[in-house]
Structure 1
Amino acid sequence: MAPVLTRRGIVVLFAACLACLMFGLEISSVPTVLPTLEQVLDADFRQLQWVMNAYTIAVTSVLMAVGTIADRYGRKRVFLVSIAAFGLASLICGLAGNVSTLIAARFLQGLSGGAMLICQLAVLSHEFQEGRERAVAWGWWGVIFGIGLGFGPIVGGGIVAVSSWQWVFLIHVAFAIVAFALALTGVHESKDPHAGRLDLAGILTLSPAVFCLVFTITQGPELGFASPAALAFLCLSIASFVAFLIAERVSERPMFDFSVFRIRSFSGAIVGSAAMNISYWPFMIYLPIWFHAGLGLDSFATGLALLAYTLPTLVMPPLAERLSLRYRPGVIIPAGLAIIGIGFFLMRWGSAATHASWLTMLPGSLIAGAGLGITNTPVTNTSTGSVSRNRAGMASGIDMSARMISLAVNIAVMGFILASGVLAHLIAALPDLDGARLNQLAEAIAAGNPAPGLPDKVAHDALANGFGWVMLYGGIGVWIMAAIGFAVFKARPARQEAAPRLD
């Protein structure tokens, strides 16, 4: 029997898989080193949020644009540029001597990472067009992407344990060199002769809308939500989003074609994309703080504990595909979201236990991860399979944008809720302290820092209260989104639903 993939095909697949591994690791490995960054770089709680937000906001800002650029100027060319830029940005991250430099480098890393993600999808789609080889290539790509996201916590924790936090970023320099060489020798250049103009108006209005909203949420407690500065950023966010909607309506080739939202299966899948990122993924940014500061685990043990949260996302997708084919995505996607909610409520119970430990967190972590694993694959297949082939790229871009925008916003929202929950406990426990001192202590505790002069039990209980609020938000939020998604799917009779194409 002839091999499924040619030798050149294997080289192309290796290049794409290495690129997706880098992208996934930079989302999931960095949270485990945030406590170390706080100590080494003297970063405060909001700066730690921006270490993550800078990456996700930057990814969002280029997702829809890069596809058009690659189609017009060459997919291989843009892919190579994005890999090189990602390696350079990773080098700057690893050499950063202060948190401001790290945040700026993370933004550059996100820009190149988003471009790298879209280009690898375009390269794989062009290189593997036959049924069997296409299935094999996309199957391996999905597995490697899942490994990057699932094993990132233990990779980050292990690197810190045996070396230093810098190597969490510097390791991608080596990966980028190998990926660049593979792509240079294996990938064939391809273009779309009918590619349209870049939607600059859409890019220049959507990115400020997201950035200003996240800035308002993260800086609101310090500025005061009713302050002129905070209100100005909020108004700018709203104005930018309205301008984005207008720009997309009048553009001849918009990056967001809102007519696809008339397809109920597509709209339901996008609700699922957003729901996963108001609950599961943003919480992974903060969960290491609880394991480290709340439960007393070191960096490596924190990475191991986080495997319970991430490993089910690798195990469940094959089952999710079978369930989706049997019961329809309109049932499976909301059901998966509901399971994530159950996991969050169980984690909240585990964090409030008398002798809280990683064992009390284990059931909720496993169930939340299983819910994510059940939801993720049907969401992706449904969002791209419910539209025609020539719109699949645009649909994929909307799907990824919904994920990244909701992730960036909810990293900020969860951080605000965490700090507020900590502050509420401190106000009740220490009524004699002035507000400024309480706010200072709350931010320190929420970031996992020691609180000098404060009894350990008070600090621990305050952190537990803050995380209880966050888990409650995640559980209730994802249940609400599950109900909305179910209603959207059910808004049209099942026999009229467009079956998702898995090819």
Structure 2
Amino acid sequence: MTDAAHDTHRPAGDGSAGPPGEDPLPRRVPVFAVVGLALLMFSLDGTSVATALTTISGDLGADLAWTGWVVTVAAVGQILALPLGGWLSDRFGGRRMFLAGVAVFTVMSGLSALSPSIGVLIACRLVQGLAGGVMLPAANGIVAHQFGRDRDRALALFTSVFPIGAILGPLVGGLVLTTWTWHGIFLVNVPIGILLVAVGLALVDDPPHRRTARIDAVGIALLVVTLLATMLTITRLGSPGSGPGWTALAGVVALTAGAVFVRHARRRPDAVVPVHLLAGRGLGIMNVTNVVFGAVVIGFSATLPLYAQVRYDLPAFVAGALLTGRAIGTIVTSAAAVALLRRLGFRPLLLGGLVAVVAGLVVTAVAPLFGGPTVWLLAGSTLLGLGTGLSGPAANNAGMHLVPDEVAAVSGLRIMFRQMGGIAAVSVLTAAVTAAEDPGVAAGIAYGVLAVALAVVGLAAARIPNRRGRW
């Protein structure tokens, strides 16, 4: 069957009024600004700390492999809280959970800045991630409610805020670290968070509630054990002097918990990861694509400053500033992608963007061919940013096109799979840098492996039927 037979094309601007009761609400723009700024703050925080990993490691007396948990454990918290956040929003209201998530995130930012040890900092970061995971489903529901029939474009623009913040984070972190201290990276969130809670109380309306389903506590617990045991295994492999017995035990626990988790998900109809959304109708390919895409987007943003420092000995601010090109490229092309989604469909934008991302990874991984390391890495970062801007909104909408009646569940899985990919990428890269005799070359090889993996999933994603028009 030809691709055209799969297209469900309805041109943008066709004059359709949409379903009754789905008119956009009057305060949608200021509400979008509030929830968008909250998402930007959360995203910036997730990667700005990456510029300070070596400084935190020396200041708190921890090796780099364990310090990498400061980045990855926040992602774990977010993954664990995503299903709980959706359930809480249904039970208590999206407005209340959004504001609660922002408030807790703000408090934990202040406590992170005051952490006296790496253990306390990791614990604070875990709670920060949990707060973000509660906030995100509520924020998506608020945006969808405010924009009605235009929710596809609004959500595409909204979800593009996250990668933009992830890109700008290292730049902000490098600036704060150069002019102040690593504690300031967390302190800057406090006044912003207080402002967001105050304005949100005045502006944000509560989306309609739905009947709440039971929360899959067993599934969430198994997911916790699987992710933490996997991270522990990778970290111990990258830590000099780690006993092989404990490392092997952590690996066995990770594999066992993962197997039990899959078995549990197959047997429980309301599992935290719905089995029917894992494969079929192109969902399996998109889930794998999201894992690898997350490894690239999150892993690259979190580790490029470290890579620039350990391979080319660039200063922290310069290393963070390398992602300026990626930020500009992503902003420009993501705006174009949002405008073209209904006309072209998601597949051309997704595939074109992935090609550019692979090229950017390859440029970053190899030694400079011209201009020195700063210019060369900036070129790779910019190229990767252009591709991320094109493919990000398209990938965000692909799963929702495939299963338009389960937007919330598909959105949660998309975020979860991307964060899982990011956790794996950051954990492996920091472990490789810690254990390798030549840390810079080891990280470059890891970027090359990511490029190959993304090219493979891109070829698989080319088989997904294209969809155009509204969903």
Which band: TM-score by shorter chain? 0.7 to 0.9
CA apart distance, 1:178: 1.1
Q: Confirm or deny that 1:407 pairs with 2:422.
A: yes
- Equivalent residues of 1:59, 1:114 under 8 A apart: yes
Tell me the amino acid that sits aligned with residue 186 of structure 2.
F
Tell me the amino acid that sits aligned with residue 78 of structure 2.
V
Q: Confirm or deny that 1:242 pairs with 2:268.
A: no
Q: Confirm or deny that 1:311 pairs with 2:328.
A: yes
**Partner of residue 381 from structure 2, selected from 365, 369, 377:** 365
- Higher relative CO (Cα under 8 Å, sequence separation at least 6) belongs to 2
Tell me the amino acid that sits aligned with residue 410 of structure 1.
A
- Equivalent residues of 1:269, 1:485 under 8 A apart: yes
Taking the aligned partners of 1:293 and 1:180, their CA distance within structure 2 comes to 39
Percent identical residues: 23
Q: Secondary structure at the match of 2:215?
A: coil
CA apart distance, 1:135: 6.6
**Partner of residue 269 from structure 2, selected from 252, 266, 286:** 252
Taking the aligned partners of 2:207 and 2:450, their CA distance within structure 1 comes to 43
Which residue is equivalent to 2:290? 273
Q: Secondary structure at the match of 1:297?
A: coil
Tell me the amino acid that sits aligned with residue 400 of structure 1.
I
Taking the aligned partners of 1:13 and 1:341, their CA distance within structure 2 comes to 32
Which residue is equivalent to 1:466? 442
Which residue is equivalent to 1:375? 391
Which residue is equivalent to 1:483? 459
Which residue is equivalent to 2:121? 102
Q: Confirm or deny that 1:333 pairs with 2:350.
A: yes
Root mean square deviation, CA, Å: 2.8
Tell me the amino acid that sits aligned with residue 32 of structure 1.
T
- Runs of 5+ in structure 2 lacking a partner? 1-22
Q: Confirm or deny that 1:46 pairs with 2:22.
A: no
If the length of structure 2 is used for normalisation, what is the TM-score? 0.86
Taking the aligned partners of 1:76 and 1:325, their CA distance within structure 2 comes to 30
Q: Deviations over 1:181-231 (max 9, x none)?
A: 122222233453422111112211112111111111111244889933222
Tell me the amino acid that sits aligned with residue 66 of structure 1.
G
Which residue is equivalent to 1:442? none
Q: Secondary structure at the match of 1:357?
A: helix
Taking the aligned partners of 2:134 and 2:184, their CA distance within structure 1 comes to 23
Change in CA separation of 1:286 and 1:261 when aligned onto 2, cut-off 3 Å: closer
Q: Deviations over 1:419-459 (max 9, x none)?
A: 45x32xxxxxxxxxxxxxxxxxxxxxxxxxxxxxxxxxxxx
CA apart distance, 1:342: 1.8
- Equivalent residues of 1:269, 1:333 under 8 A apart: no
If the length of structure 1 is used for normalisation, what is the TM-score? 0.81
Change in CA separation of 1:468 and 1:128 when aligned onto 2, cut-off 3 Å: closer
More displaced 10-residue stretch of structure 1: 364-373 or 59-68 = 364-373
Q: Confirm or deny that 1:176 pairs with 2:193.
A: yes
**Partner of residue 132 from structure 2, selected from 88, 93, 113:** 113
- Equivalent residues of 2:235, 2:427 under 8 A apart: yes
Q: Confirm or deny that 1:37 pairs with 2:53.
A: no
Q: Confirm or deny that 1:72 pairs with 2:91.
A: yes
Change in CA separation of 1:501 and 1:251 when aligned onto 2, cut-off 3 Å: farther
**Partner of residue 392 from structure 1, selected from 407, 421, 430:** 407
Change in CA separation of 1:502 and 1:92 when aligned onto 2, cut-off 3 Å: farther
Q: Secondary structure at the match of 2:148?
A: coil
More displaced 10-residue stretch of structure 1: 33-42 or 51-60 = 33-42
Larger Rg: 1
Q: Secondary structure at the match of 1:198?
A: coil
Q: Confirm or deny that 1:20 pairs with 2:39.
A: yes
Number of residue pairs the alignment of both structures matches: 449
CA apart distance, 1:170: 1.0
- Runs of 5+ in structure 1 lacking a partner? 424-461
**Partner of residue 214 from structure 1, selected from 207, 226, 231:** 231
Change in CA separation of 1:364 and 1:218 when aligned onto 2, cut-off 3 Å: same
Which residue is equivalent to 2:4? none
Taking the aligned partners of 1:24 and 1:208, their CA distance within structure 2 comes to 25
Change in CA separation of 1:42 and 1:9 when aligned onto 2, cut-off 3 Å: same
- Equivalent residues of 1:95, 1:166 under 8 A apart: yes
Change in CA separation of 1:285 and 1:403 when aligned onto 2, cut-off 3 Å: same
Pairing of 1:58-207 with structure 2 (within 5 A): 58-131=77-150, 134=151, 138=155, 141-142=158-159, 144-190=161-207, 192-207=209-224
Tell me the amino acid that sits aligned with residue 387 of structure 1.
V
**Partner of residue 300 from structure 2, selected from 283, 286, 292:** 283
